[in-house]
Amino acid sequence: MSDLEAQTREMLQAVSDAADLAALEAVRIAVLGKKGTLTELMKGLGAMSVEERKIKGPVLNGARDQLTAAIAARAQALNATALNARLAQERIDVTLPARPEMRGAIHPVSQVIDEVIAIFGDMGFSVAEGPDIESDFYNFTALNIPPEHPARQMHDTFYFNEKPGGERLLLRTHTSPVQIRSMEKSGPPLRIIAPGRTYRCDSDMTHTPMFHQVEGLVIDETAHMGHLKGCLIEFCKAFFEVDNVRMRFRPSHFPFTEPSAEVDIGCRRRGGELRIGEGEDWLEILGCGMVHPKVLRHGGIDPDKYQGFAFGMGIDRLAMLKYGIPDLRDFFEADLRWLRHYGFAPLDIPSLPGGLSR
Ligand code: DAH
């Protein structure tokens, strides 16, 4: 075997011994680099006699081609091995169950909204919406709250700056404007609930400047106070998940309903615990009544033909009562520890057949 053959074999061996791409690159430089073994040998061709070059030239070129091909093949093999190793390492088993620890959670307000929608949805109500930024007309005037009415101050309204035409938009102080919007949009008969954000300039343990309400509205030719009572009693039983709830419809006044009532539910406070549905104490949970004829007229509905009832309740308050959450302000602190404690599993969607809360 000639020296060159022996050298070529050695170099080929080094190529196949290269354990990874870095080692292979080192071999390539050592063989074919500027000062590589083969490069040096090829440089020697120039100094040879024509005869000698004729013999050695093809041999050296052959060796170079052989090595170049061997290096390329080895590189390909090493790349494939590296890729397979990575695929094996980064493999995920998609059949494994989701991680058991809960990272986020459904906020009690969202949970209660879903529960309320599930209950009223079952009674045939659909969900309506209106904007948070309202006009004076929808928030007050159309609801039979005229400009000088004391309810306008009572509401502690957040007003926007006056527009050039003199109009002042506001953040809605209740969800009742959705009543008018729904009357205008769909006309009678109507059976809607409207959950959403509401705003009043107020802040203490049970009040925050932004809070949530759900409005209810039923309009047809025959709806009466008995329907209103039945509907709200059914709602309370379903919502508080008890067979019986003591309830009291107390005469009250709202400009947009006539007659109007406030609804209290029976409760018992013992130790630190609050039990809903039984007991000697009362807790106010909502306002309601028969829709005032003027309100129907503002919504474009003929009060001589149609009548109906409406109700409005605080969602945050419902959440505090049902889930025993003491301070309303914590609802909006975005504290993950609070959310982990009071929140709900994202996949447990409330439904009447499946259960509201668990
Ligand atoms: N809008 C009232 C409030 O924010 C609640 C209310 C009372 C709504 C009676 C109604 C109703 O629809 O009939 O205090």
What is the number of other CB atoms lying within 10 angstroms of the CB of residue 305? 10
| The predicted structure's pLDDT at residue 100 | 67
If you search the block for the tokens 């083969």, which residue do you land on? 38
Of 213, 254, 264, 316, which is best to mutate to test ligand 1, by the most ligand atoms within 8 angstroms of its C-beta?
254
User: How long a stretch of residues is the chain?
Assistant: 358
Residue 218 confidence class, pLDDT cut points 50, 70, 90 = very high
Q: Ligand 1 center to residue 348 CA distance, Å?
A: 31
Is the peptide bond preceding residue 259 cis, with omega within 30 degrees of 0?
Answer: yes
Going by CA atoms, what residue is nearest to atom 12 of ligand 1? 311
In angstroms, the Cα distances linking 304 to 152, 260, 293, 297 are 29, 19, 8, 10
Please give the average per-residue pLDDT across 47-55, as a whole number.
Answer: 86
Residue 138 confidence class, pLDDT cut points 50, 70, 90 = very high
Is the CB–ligand 1 distance for residue 157 below 6 Å? no
Please enumerate in sequence order all residues whose Cβ is within 8 A of that of 192, keeping only pairs 6 or more positions apart, or say none: 125, 126, 127, 128, 178, 182, 186, 216, 217
Are 38 and 5 in contact by the 8 Å Cβ rule? The answer is no
CA distance linking residue 115 with residue 121, whole number of Å:
10
pLDDT in tens, 93-102: 888 877 666 6
Is the CB–ligand 1 distance for residue 312 below 6 Å? yes
Report residue 253: phi and psi, to 5°: -140, 130
Least confident of 20-24, 173-177, 253-257: 20-24
| The predicted structure's pLDDT at residue 169 | 94
| The predicted structure's pLDDT at residue 97 | 77
Is the CB–ligand 1 distance for residue 140 below 6 Å? no
Angle, alpha carbons 139-140-144 (nearest 5°)? 130
Residue 173 confidence class, pLDDT cut points 50, 70, 90 = very high
pLDDT in tens, 219-275: 999 999 999 999 999 999 999 998 888 999 999 999 999 999 999 998 887 877 777
Of 155, 288, 307, which is best to mutate to test ligand 1, by the most ligand atoms within 8 angstroms of its C-beta?
288
Are 330 and 343 in contact by the 8 Å Cβ rule? The answer is no
CA distance linking residue 192 with residue 120, whole number of Å:
9
CA distance linking residue 66 with residue 307, whole number of Å:
96
Of 144, 152, 157, 176, which is best to mutate to test ligand 1, by the most ligand atoms within 8 angstroms of its C-beta?
176
Q: Ligand 1 center to residue 286 CA distance, Å?
A: 7
Question: Whole-structure pTM over 0.85, yes or no?
Answer: no
The terminus-to-terminus CA distance of the chain in angstroms comes to 84
CA atoms in the 13 A half-sphere facing the CB of 11: 28
| The predicted structure's pLDDT at residue 155 | 65
pLDDT in tens, 278-300: 788 888 999 999 999 999 999 99
CA distance linking residue 175 with residue 116, whole number of Å:
15
Angle, helices 108-122/315-323, rounded to nearest 10 degrees: 100
Going by CA atoms, what residue is nearest to atom 5 of ligand 1? 312
pLDDT at 151 over 90: no
Q: Ligand 1 center to residue 287 CA distance, Å?
A: 5
Going by CA atoms, what residue is nearest to atom 8 of ligand 1? 312
pLDDT in tens, 114-130: 999 999 999 999 999 99
Partner residues linked to 273 by β-bridges: 270
Residue 148 confidence class, pLDDT cut points 50, 70, 90 = confident
